[in-house]
């Protein structure tokens, strides 16, 4: 039977803030007179670059832009609207789902979707209730839940951005384990309603595929993580102090893998890392070209490369 291919992607957009001060979040640096001198020109350049990249992810394999793109580190609906109004995306039939989260930095997750290929049925956000060592509520990003139909096939999508390693890997690991267990609670609820549910878990997990939180608490024995094979000494979705990591992943329930009677069959996963997204010289050559290094403006797009998964749609 003839088949059409679809791309599903995830991209951490690294501090996609507008240039306006929001009194409710810590965004003063991302204003024209703030520490980073974040102005309209820089904002527009970043939007256009991100849009160009999003439009190209998976296009070599499918001939079209992604059907779904989970994103992280977006400030609000305004930046998402501005992103979709760029030259590279404005003629496409994209919309987005976004819920404000209580994250102190004001960065959220969202899902971009092609309205021609994805129908939204329901969306909501799930909070993580974490505490500091002192027993104070530690506000972080919510988990975005979206239920819909992808090319007519019912699917459930969870978009994540787990707590960072900033305090140290071991100290912060319980927070990521808690995030994994919260995902499993959501999955259990989905499967109680639909045992054959097709589930996608995507995000910046701030952990690699073989980290305890991802491998043992999220993927466990019943889900499949195709990204586990993509991380090597020489490749990943981000680089920190000379080491590659693959924090950005798309994880699948097993029914995506069926080789027969499967309306949406998994084909491959990859990291999208063309040369224009990379540092071109010096000791960081080959790393993602980020927007800032400290307070020095570099003009790049993100400190992460996008990741994506290709599915075959049987007609």
Given this model, what pLDDT does residue 1 score? 40
Q: In 10 A of CB 91, how many CB atoms? A: 8
Q: Across all residues in the chain, what is the average pLDDT? A: 94
pLDDT in tens, 20-37: 999 888 899 999 999 999
The two tokens of residue 183 are 């995902």
pLDDT in tens, 196-241: 999 999 999 999 999 999 999 999 999 999 999 999 999 999 999 9
Q: How far is CA 90 from the centre of its chain?
A: 21
Name 89's Cβ contacts closer than 8 Å, sequence gap at least 6: 51, 54, 55, 65, 83
Q: In 10 A of CB 101, how many CB atoms? A: 21
The two tokens of residue 48 are 């256009």
Question: What are the helix (H) ranges across 125-219?
Answer: 169-193, 212
Question: Structural domain boundaries of the chain?
Answer: 3-314
User: Per CATH, the architecture of 3-314 is what?
Assistant: 4-Layer Sandwich (3.60)
Distance CA 299, CA 75 (A): 19
Q: What is the mean pLDDT of residues 283-303?
A: 96
Question: pLDDT-derived band of residue 172, with 50, 70 and 90 as boundaries?
Answer: confident
Question: pLDDT-derived band of residue 315, with 50, 70 and 90 as boundaries?
Answer: low
Given this model, what pLDDT does residue 102 score? 80
Over pLDDT 70: what percentage of the chain? 97
Given this model, what pLDDT does residue 135 score? 65
Predicted confidence (pLDDT) at residue 3 exceeds the cutoff of 50: yes
Q: How far is CA 224 from CA 136, 200, 209, 244, in A?
A: 35, 10, 11, 22
Q: How far is CA 164 from CA 7, 77, 225, 226, 231, in A?
A: 27, 23, 21, 23, 19
- Cα angle 287, 289, 290 (rounded to 5 degrees) comes to 120
pLDDT in tens, 83-98: 999 999 999 999 999 9
Which residue has better confidence, 118 or 315? 118
If we measure between CA atoms, which residue out of 75, 59, 45 comes closest to residue 114? Answer: 59
Contact 271, 9 (CB under 8 A): no
Which residue do the tokens 């952990």 mark?
207
Q: What is the mean pLDDT of residues 300-309?
A: 99
Predicted confidence (pLDDT) at residue 134 exceeds the cutoff of 80: no
């Amino acid at each position: 039977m003839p088949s059409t291919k679809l791309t599903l992607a995830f991209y951490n957009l690294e501090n996609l803030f507008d240039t306006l001060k929001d009194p409710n979040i810590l965004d003063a640096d991302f204003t024209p007179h703030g520490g980073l001198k974040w102005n309209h020109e820089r904002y527009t350049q970043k939007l256009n670059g991100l849009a160009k990249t999003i439009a190209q992810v998976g296009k070599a394999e499918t001939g079209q832009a992604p059907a779904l793109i989970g994103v992280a580190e977006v400030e609000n609906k305004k930046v998402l609207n501005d992103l979709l109004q760029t030259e590279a995306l404005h003629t496409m039939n994209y919309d987005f789902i976004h819920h404000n989260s209580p994250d102190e930095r004001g960065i959220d997750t969202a899902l971009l979707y092609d309205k021609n290929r994805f129908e939204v049925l329901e969306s909501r956000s799930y909070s993580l209730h974490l505490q500091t060592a002192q027993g104070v509520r530690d506000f972080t990003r919510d988990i975005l839940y979206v239920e819909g139909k992808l090319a007519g096939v019912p699917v459930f999508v969870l978009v994540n951005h787990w707590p960072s390693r900033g305090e140290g890997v071991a100290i912060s690991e319980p927070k990521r384990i808690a995030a994994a267990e919260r995902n499993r609670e959501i999955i259990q609820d989905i499967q109680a309603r639909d045992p054959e549910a097709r589930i996608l878990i995507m995000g910046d997990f701030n952990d690699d595929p073989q980290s305890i939180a991802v491998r043992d608490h999220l993927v466990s024995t019943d889900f499949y993580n195709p990204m586990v094979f993509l991380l090597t000494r020489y490749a990943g979705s981000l680089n920190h102090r000379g080491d590659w990591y693959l924090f950005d992943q798309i994880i699948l329930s097993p029914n995506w893998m069926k080789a027969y009677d499967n309306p949406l069959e998994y084909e491959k996963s990859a990291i999208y890392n063309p040369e224009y997204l990379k540092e071109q010289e010096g000791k960081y050559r080959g790393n993602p070209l980020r927007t800032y290094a400290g307070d020095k403006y570099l003009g790049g797009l993100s400190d992460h490369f996008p990741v994506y998964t290709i599915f075959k749609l049987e007609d």
